[in-house]
Amino acid sequence: MSLFSRVVLTAVCLVSMIVLGVSVKAGGADKRQILHAAYSEFPPYEFTDAEGVAQGYGVDLLRTAAGVAGYEIEFVAAQSPEHTLTLLEQGEVDLTLLLALTPERQTAGRPISGLGEYVLSVYVRRDSTIDDIAGLSGLRIGIVADTMTQSAENLLPEVTLIPYQTSDSLLLPLLRGELDGVVAVAETFDARLRINFIEDKVSRLDRALVATEYGMIVRRDLVTVHAALARTIAMSEKSGMLQVLHARWFGHNRSIYLHPWFENVAIIVGGIALTTFALVFYAARLRRRSAALSLENDAHQLVNNALDKIGAAITIFDSDLRALHWNDGFEARFPALVPYLEAGTTLDRACALFYELGILGSGSDGDEIDALATTIAHHLRGGEMFHRIVHTQMENSFDLSIFPLGSRFYAAIWVDVTVMHQQQKQLSAQSIELSHKNQQLLAFSAMAAHDLKAPLTQQQVVVEFITEDLLEAQLSLPAEAQGHFATLGDLSARMSRLVSELLDYAKADTRQAPAQCFSPNTRIEGIIKLAAAGNGMNIEVMEDIPAVQVEPVCFDMVMRNLITNAAKHHDRPDGTIIVRGHRERGEVIIEIEDDGPGIKAMDQARVFEPFARLTAVQGSGLGLAFVQRTVAAWGGSVTLRSAPNRGCIFRLSVPAAQAKPAGAPLPVYLPYGERRA
């Protein structure tokens, strides 16, 4: 029990004794009858302290009850409970303190019962596996060498009982494991556990060994004394006095607020001390509240200052939607509306006034404006937020938010976003202009590629004619001239491919025909034949790639580009390219994985840029840019990541085919570049 708890309980006992004994003092009795009460050592029920004075729960109980009944008590120490009964029967004492009221003992006098029970229980360590008395057989059990606990010999015949002098001497052996359990009176042992703060380490078995009612026994001829004490003790129990005394000597579960006597004791002890404490507490609370309000007011002022700095206007409305407060920013922005707020206008009316006073521009009539204001108020009362960008006649733009502020207030905040709105308009105009420039650039690229394609084609034809003429004339050129002639043909072919790819890239998002539904597996086999993969490349196509819904010819070009790209950038003559696919929600994921040298993570984003070339392998640098642009035109995407071991994985996300009626076959299209026989 804490020091505070002991002080409170002691004060309660003293006040209760004074209140209960006031009638005796008022009677002016100068002398009381002295009663002699016998007791034996059984702490904390009754014992003799170091100064030779009787102490304990029973001592305080009898002393208090006897004082109220008009008696004084002199306590006589006995050697044992049997000795107290002998003194009673011989007439040397008038009554006993607390004894177990066995049938034999009740015949020795007049018992006062109803005070409680001696409950003999078994305690074990909380980490023990013992959960019932039956599990004690053959174990070492500690007991206190007194009459009550010695009865355990008859109740537990199959255990080894080890006697100790006091309850405290049982604690350490039990915690150390020297004892498997302890037999003790529950109230006494629980009190020792609480005092030593170890109630969480020891537990009591649910089933008790025995429970015996205890009480006092008054000499049989003292009828009046018996009646007075029994009546006084009954009154003490109703008033909560017994609980107070019990808690003083046996403790409680830490919190006194849980005890049933707390409210009554608080009323008795309150008085001037409680009133004084309440006044001091209330004054301190007012000071703290005042300080908190001051800090809160400062914080609100800081918020208002910050909102003023960013040009925000604030209005606070009460639960009836009437204006309570507005900041300087509101007065500066909307001075025409301030008189209406001062007159107590409501929020919905204020919304309408913004239009009626010409602050906000609107092409609506008065009825429409009133309907809008009423709708805003209705949504606010329903706990919803109203948000809109509004524009004034002075060409200012505001971000308006009106929302509930707790359960009793509403707030309207106007944030000036004029500069942001103007920048957004400027960015939008620049974006349109940039898109227009890009279209012009693409148109120029397409035109240039188209104009260059015809001369290049003619140049290639001329080279072929010259070659055929030399063969027919059986003429041979010098080796150096032949090399220059071959270089010319190679350069012409490369230039022709570059122009063709540039033309494809320029038209990637405009040339596509309507999307078609088809199975990729039926086309990929033909695409592989046209792809420049080389004889050493093993191309594996997984079966059952889900059907897609895209433009078939462009699909062929995309897949051929990716397969050709994986093959020509491979660093070994033999390699493997895997094509697989699966469905995710409304898309089909197609992956092309190779086991080539791979691409560094820092360069993976660059491969989709036009004319980007990361290796010395010949190419225009437009293939992957064409793939990305074409797939984006379908509404899909293409990404690149490194393969687990080596190589790359290109991942296409394209629209999945829409559901077809059961049994309806998918259309089959020839790959781009093939012709029907």
| pLDDT tens, residue by residue, 632-641 | 988 899 999 9
Q: How would residue 48 be classed by pLDDT, with cut points 50, 70 and 90? A: very high
Helices and strands (H and E) in the chain: how many: 21, 24
Q: In the CATH scheme, what is the homologous superfamily, with its name and number, of domain 115-213? A: Periplasmic binding protein-like II (3.40.190.10)
Q: Which of 594, 557, 566, 564 is nearest to 578 (CA)?
A: 594
Rounded Cα gap, residues 118 and 45, in angstroms: 11
249 Cβ neighbours under 8 A, 6+ residues apart: 44, 45, 56, 57, 60, 191
Token pair in block for residue 182: 């302890």
Pairing of β 397-405 and β 516-518: unpaired
Question: Which CATH architecture group holds 512-655?
Answer: 2-Layer Sandwich (3.30)
Residues of the chain with pLDDT > 70, as a percent, come to 76
Backbone φ and ψ of 496, nearest 5°: -65, -45
Q: Give residue 656's pLDDT.
A: 93
In what helix (H) or strand (E) does residue 154 lie, and over which residues does it extend?
helix 152-155
Q: Give residue 491's pLDDT.
A: 66
Q: How many other CB atoms are found less than 10 A from the CB of residue 590?
A: 27
Q: How far is CA 344 from CA 68, 313, 366, 584, in A?
A: 69, 18, 21, 59
Please tell me the CATH code under which domain 310-416 is placed: 3.30.450.20
235 Cβ neighbours under 8 A, 6+ residues apart: 20, 68
115-213 and 1-109+219-260 share a CATH fold = yes
Q: Give residue 391's pLDDT.
A: 80
Q: Which of 241, 217, 201 is nearest to 103 (CA)?
A: 217
The count of C-alpha atoms lying within 13 angstroms of the C-alpha of 446, restricted to the half-sphere facing its C-beta, is 14
- Per residue in 419-449, pLDDT (tens digit) is 887 788 888 887 787 766 656 555 555 555 5
**Of the given ranges (42-46, 136-140, 347-351), which has the lowest mean pLDDT?**
347-351
Rounded Cα gap, residues 61 and 53, in angstroms: 15
Pairing of β 648-655 and β 637-642: antiparallel
Domain ranges of the chain: 1-109+219-260, 115-213, 310-416, 423-504, 512-655
- Please state the rounded mean pLDDT for residues 606-624: 69
CATH 1.10.3720.10 is the classification of domain 1-109+219-260: no
**Of the given ranges (45-59, 77-91, 289-303, 575-589), which has the lowest mean pLDDT?**
289-303
Please tell me whether the peptide bond between 655 and the residue prior to it is cis, using omega within 30 degrees of 0. Answer: no
In what helix (H) or strand (E) does residue 247 lie, and over which residues does it extend?
helix 241-250
Beta strand segments in 274-347, E? 312-317, 323-326
- Per residue in 73-122, pLDDT (tens digit) is 999 999 989 999 999 999 999 999 999 998 898 999 999 998 889 898 99
Burial class from Cβ neighbours inside 10 Å (0-12, 13-18, 19+) for residue 202 reads buried
Rounded Cα gap, residues 357 and 342, in angstroms: 16
Helices (H), 473-531: 479-506, 521-530
